[in-house]
A and B are shown apart, each in its own frame.
Chain A
Amino acid sequence: MAKYVIKRLLLLIPILLGVSAIIFVLKTLTPGDPARQILGNDATEEQISAKREELGLNDPVIVQYVRYVGNIVTRGDFGTSYRTNEPVLSEIIPRLWTSAKITLGAVAIGAILGILLGILSALRKYTWVDSLVLVISMFFQSVPEFVVGLVLITVFAVKLHILPAAGIDTPLGYIMPMLCIGLSSVASYTRITRSSMLEVLSEDYIRTARAKGQTEKNITYHHALRNAMIPVAQSIGTSLGNSIGGGMVLETVFSVPGVGKYIVDSINQRNYPSVLGGALVIAIVLTVINLLVDLSFILIDPRLKSTIISGGASKPKKAKVAEA
């Protein structure tokens, strides 16, 4: 077990090196001189070249890259924002918390709605209720989140004036972003719940329960639902990790000061230390959350231990082909 955790964490190293390398390459390819950008148009040539020297921009890319990685490893220093001159990490942490709050709310909304609808559709399978639920939830999945966001803003902020159109100055500001992300994930929870419920309901022990004379209600909510929830809970875990960094567009639409908006702004301002820092933090958060989710499932359902651990990093080659 401990070996497995260490292995998973070690796997983070090549991923982080790779991610930073990709963004580093993109950074060097991007036109424009960061030194000129920091100093503005009034700066003299000498000032600019002094700044370039100070930022280490005159060194070969590979030297810059090694220095960057070295700073992270030795001092936990993710660089300094070109724009504010603040350490990138201290700018990201509070924003990460904002994004995390929205993600938690969104996942809760999506999961609760999705599970309820999924149960409904499984119990009324192949009826119009089933089709209607699937079509509606799919609608929200297929429409871009920002369009749903715009519709919500028009209705609740512009017409009804009950929610703020942008910003999170009041707790009410969280509602619409959460709702947007939540609604877009309802469909996947509905689907997983439905198919998992249908599968469980056809198991032998359900038939046994029926034969014993259990009520349908008891069978559905007591016998079936508990076992059917395992794949649902797993997908909740994965989407927690994914949506923290995935809210770029939506955070921009609602002007939420989260990591996503921070990265979008930094890309637009060519503020590459912030882009790099943001990307790395997201990759770390994602990997750690996924690991925690996997570990918690081993605790919840010990039967999953072998599948999770063998599905990890060091699976044998044969197993890979069989898995597909």
Chain B
Amino acid sequence: MSKMHTPAMEKIEKKNARRKKPLVATPSYEAWKRFKRNPTALVGLVVVAVLILIAIFAPLIAPYDYQVQDYLSMMQKPSAAHIFGTDQFGRDIFSRVIYGTRYSLLIALFCTIAAFFSGGLLGIIAGYFGGRTDTIIMRIMDIFQAIPMIMMAMCIVAVLGNGIPQLVAAIMFASMPTMARNNRAAILRVRGCDYIESSEAIGVSQGQMIIKHMIPNAVGVMVIYFVGFLAVSIMMMSSMSYIGVGLSAPTPEWGLILNDGKAYMTTAPYMMMFPAMMIMITCFAFNLMGDGLRDAFDPRLQ
């Protein structure tokens, strides 16, 4: 996707700018064309977009504050005043779920970025340098991988305590081996290409090689992992807070809201219904989108 700037190319580019659609099909443009034709992927994209809007405009949408306790209206069934009902402290569940979108999406985003900067970077280094560096990094990752992800995350939370940064760190460490493996594979796929060999031959520096030639070409695969990992982190985060590890009240995270409702499952099932639905919708949407991206960037995998 790096552009050359010869006069001829500039002419074509000017022409393209006028044509709306580029004449020279870049891989990402091709991918977008395939993505647009995939109805399930588009549904995923639209739902994710709506969720992001909900997260941004949460204070405007939510009728109540998510942590204000109203002892006059405890444990109310869904009604016009509280469309999702209220919990045992009289907090409005709809408002908590809406603010929960903000927390869940943001934490998931932090987790994913952190995971890319730790495990992902290790994988890129291992894949690029190969040889002994690769062996050492990947053997260490093998050891980490022998510990189930959620167990690792829980042990780290036990060390660091509850809280958002601690949870992000825990999920980051726990996902390191998978992240490293995926990104290493992405880089290795590019590494074997002829144009990398030719850049090597004309003496491109190593930093330039990674940043300018390899990452842009591996970006498609990395985007797929990125979106996929957003769903994984939402799943992990909500699972952990449901069993009482990671975040603590009154954070309106969906798993925690479910945890609040656990005791009232038989008498007030609506307390769990709505946050559970949000988790389902969100994870499903991210997966549909990720799947569409995979098909779009790599039609061979279909």
Q: Which chain A residues have a beta carbon within 8 Å of chain B's beta carbons?
A: 14-15, 18-19, 22-23, 26, 29-31, 131, 135, 138-139, 141-147, 150-151, 153-154, 158, 165, 245-246, 248-249, 252-253, 263-264, 267-268, 270, 275, 279, 282-283, 286-287, 317, 320-321, 324
Contact = CB atoms under 8 A, between A and B. Distances in A.
Given A144-B235, A154-B272, A324-B188, A282 B159 contact: no
A228 to B, nearest CB: 17
B188 A263 contact: no
A201 B258 CA distance: 46
Contacts, number: 127
A321 B127 CA distance: 9
B242 A249 contact: yes
Contact of B238 (A30, A144, A317): A144
A298 B284 CA distance: 38
Interface string B142-171: 111011101100111011010000000000
14 contacts: A19-B146, A26-B156, A150-B276, A153-B265, A154-B272, A245-B148, A246-B150, A248-B243, A264-B154, A267-B155, A268-B244, A270-B158, A287-B146, A320-B134
B189 A324 contact: yes
Interface in B208-251: 231, 235, 238-240, 242-245
Contacts of A317: 130-131
Nearest to A270: B158
Interface in B247-265: 258, 265
Contacts of A150: 258, 265, 272, 276
A151 B40 CA distance: 24
B239 A321 contact: no
A-B pairs, top 3 by smallest CB distance, nearest first, are A18-B143, A324-B188, A142-B287
B155 A138 contact: no
B154 to A, nearest CB: 5
The interface residues of chain A, by DSSP majority, are classed as helix
A1 B269 CA distance: 57
Nearest to B228: A142
Nearest to B287: A142
Contacts of B235: 144
Given A15-B142, A26-B159, A249 B150 contact: yes
B158 A18 contact: no
Nearest to B156: A26
B143 A22 contact: yes
B57 to A, nearest CB: 25
A135 B146 contact: no
Interface string B176-214: 000000001100110110000000000000000000000
A144 B283 contact: yes
Contacts of B276: 147, 150-151
Nearest to B189: A324
B139 A14 contact: yes
B40 A324 contact: no
Nearest to B244: A268
Contact of B146 (A275, A283, A324): A283
B90 to A, nearest CB: 23
Q: Which of A23, A146, A246, A268 has the most CB of B within 10 A?
A: A146
Contacts of B146: 15, 18-19, 282-283, 286-287
A248 B286 CA distance: 24
Contact of A144 (B142, B156, B239, B288): B239
